[in-house]
Structure 1
Amino acid sequence: MSKLGCTCGHVITDQTDGLPYKASLLRDEVENEFWDEVHRELKPLVEAAESGDKAAIADAFGEFSPWFSAADKLQDRISSLYIRRMSSAYECQSCGRLWVQKDDSERFVSYVPEEGAYGAILAVASGGSENLN
């Protein structure tokens, strides 16, 4: 998604990283499955590394070219798992409406905050730490 039109008329853009009004959601129903997949990806590499068996590493991850390291390949595999399981959420900076991605689709469902204003709830420094008690 690069742009999402909010009901209030504001256009939410997603064309860079580190957006304070965007979050990734890992639904509780798939969390264990996600971590099981991560474990399955990491286990052969860790076991091969512990044994020092370079052939086992090659079996688990294939042969690496000089410009693509084992760490790069592992990051790519974990990122693929992450992307498959995560959904996006956006907070409209104009009205505060929260838009949550529905399933694996490009469809979003909106939720209106009780305050009716942008609260930066998805930002790291949202100022919402008083709600953590």
Structure 2
Amino acid sequence: MKFLCECGHPIYNQTDYLPYKAHVISDQDWFNFLDEIDDAIEKAGSTPEDKEKALMRIRSLAVNLSKSVYQCNECGNVFFYRNPPQLEMFRSCSDNPNKELFKSAKGDG
């Protein structure tokens, strides 16, 4: 996927580990998500197949509950991507927005 910010800067989603992309889970879903993780760990069987099934259940849930969010590196505008495909843009209330909102907490590594 590629789209243009209103400032004209292109925003790409053609690879993984993007420093300007994040995944957001609503607060209404967050604790249910954590409960599902706990449940998958506690109830996963002992075979590799059981563990794989539990992992895939959590990954699927994470994908279904999250929204993709992008930030323009040039102006700092933030875009939420929702299904059905729709982009919603938000501007910073600051004249000098932080343009690294979604950079990894672990750094570039």
Do the two structures share a fold, i.e. TM-score over 0.5? yes
1:14 deviation in Å? 0.7
Tell me, yes or no, if the aligned pair for 2:72 and 2:99 is still in contact at 8 Å.
Answer: no
**2: CA distance, partners of 1:107 / 1:89:** 12
* Residues 1:97 and 2:96 aligned together: no
* Residues 1:88 and 2:82 aligned together: no
Structure 1 segments unaligned to the other structure (5+ residues): 50-56, 58-63, 126-133
Q: TM-score, normalised by structure 2?
A: 0.77
Which protein has the bigger strand share?
Answer: 2
* Alignment match of 1:108 (pick from 79, 82, 87): 87
Tell me, yes or no, if the aligned pair for 2:40 and 2:55 is still in contact at 8 Å.
Answer: no
**1: CA distance, partners of 2:75 / 2:52:** 40
The one-letter amino acid paired with 2:84 is S
- Secondary structure of 1:99's counterpart equals strand
- Per the alignment, residue 52 of structure 1 pairs with none
- Secondary structure of 1:76's counterpart equals helix
Tell me, yes or no, if the aligned pair for 1:23 and 1:90 is still in contact at 8 Å.
Answer: yes
How many residues were matched structurally?
104
Taking a change above 3 Å as real, the CA distance of residues 11 and 118 of structure 1, as seen in their structure-2 partners, is farther
* Residues 1:15 and 2:10 aligned together: no
1:77 deviation in Å? 1.8
Which protein has the bigger helix share?
Answer: 1
1:110 deviation in Å? 1.2
- Secondary structure of 1:40's counterpart equals helix
Tell me, yes or no, if the aligned pair for 1:89 and 1:98 is still in contact at 8 Å.
Answer: yes
Tell me, yes or no, if the aligned pair for 2:5 and 2:11 is still in contact at 8 Å.
Answer: yes
- Secondary structure of 1:4's counterpart equals strand
1:44 deviation in Å? 2.1
* Residues 1:6 and 2:5 aligned together: yes
- Secondary structure of 2:7's counterpart equals coil
Rg larger for? 1
In the TM superposition, 1:34-113 aligns within 5 A as 34-45=33-44, 48-49=45-46, 69-102=49-82, 104-113=83-92
The one-letter amino acid paired with 1:97 is N
